[in-house]
Amino acid sequence: MRKNMNIGIDHGYHAIKTRHFSFPAGISEYSHEPYTLQNTLEYGGKFFVCGTGRQPILRNKMENDNYYLLTLAAIAREIKQRGGKTECSVNIAAGLPLAGFGREKKSFREYLLRSPQPVGYRFEGIPYKVTIEDVKLFPQGYSAIALHPELIQNEPSVLLMDIGGWTVDLMRLDNGVPNASTCRSLELGMIRCIDETKEQIRRDIGLSVTDAQVERVLAGKPCSMDEDARSIIRKQGRIYTERLLSAAMESGFDLKAIPVVMLGGGAAVVKSNVNPQDGLCRVFALPDDKVNAEGFERILGQFAGRLGSG
């Protein structure tokens, strides 16, 4: 009997991440087939192009069907990447910030595990018939430690700083165990940094740059752009880092006393802008923005293995 495929999905405000893919969380609806089937989901008689820019920030990701549709696209991408059958059963491993985990767990699980099953749709012209057998939810940030336990080895206390698109989730681990009373969620994610950077460039030199250009320069990658704009982007990256570190300290975390593990889409940017004069205890960075999704999937696999051996 064929096992269900376990697929980890990180439903970010800025991007959807799986073990193999990261694509923007934007989605555009069309009544008719668009000019290309690339990134196109056909579901319920409508067409949706997934990964187009970003969608408006939702306080509740379950307000509309966008994240469900993006989930179907993510499942199709992973099935194709892994050489799986297009008619199959999957288990979804997803995550929520620990600060709202108990409050949102039941409703988000129901949102993803909706009827009817199986779900029939097309992605990039390929028909899929997928039965979502189960949805397991895990704490964001902490799940990434499943992949890198060495980062907290011999450390009595560690701060996890998950720098996402809209929020930065903070959580302290004491002897490897999450301290729930320390969880904080700051609305200081990378979207805030990018938007403020674009506005500063418009004010200073009158150019309208794109999100993708700002992200590329912040990541230290080559990009054809006015040198003055580059300079502003680099300066804003440092300003954002200072602001974030200050907000973490104000939230009760003494970054000069405990080490920090940074992860999420903004981890590489913040780590590269930390200076010796900041006086931080120690900073580790997990720059791969897919680390949460991979962590969810690994924990689900270990959990299923324990059930099977029990």
Segments forming the whole domain that contains residue 186: 151-287
User: Of 139, 164, 184, which marks where a domain is finished?
Assistant: 139
Question: Residue 38 has what pLDDT?
Answer: 94
Residue 304 in any domain: the answer is no
User: Of 139, 170, 189, which marks where a domain is finished?
Assistant: 139
Residue 59 in any domain: the answer is yes
Q: How far apart are CA 278 and CA 238, in angstroms?
A: 11
Instruction: Residue 246: give its domain's CATH number.
Output: 3.30.420.40
92 and 31 in a single domain? The answer is yes
Provide the pLDDT confidence category of residue 304 given band limits of 50, 70 and 90: low
Residue 51 in any domain: the answer is yes
Q: How far apart are CA 206 and CA 211, in angstroms?
A: 16
Provide the pLDDT confidence category of residue 308 given band limits of 50, 70 and 90: very low
Mean pLDDT (the chain, rounded): 91
Residue 146 in any domain: the answer is no
192 and 262 in a single domain? The answer is yes
Tens digit of each residue's pLDDT (9 = 90 or more) over 178-202: 888 899 989 999 999 999 999 999 9
89 and 163 in a single domain? The answer is no
26 and 79 in a single domain? The answer is yes
What single-letter DSSP state applies at residue 256? T
Domain total in the chain: 2
Q: Which two tokens stand for residue 54?
A: 């970003």
Helix, strand, coil % (nearest 5) of the chain?
Answer: 40, 25, 35
Q: Coil, strand, or helix at residue 223?
A: coil
Residue 198 in any domain: the answer is yes
69 and 105 in a single domain? The answer is yes
User: Of 139, 162, 184, which marks where a domain is finished?
Assistant: 139
Residue 303 in any domain: the answer is no
Question: Residue 1 has what pLDDT?
Answer: 46
Tallying the residues shown for the chain, one arrives at 310
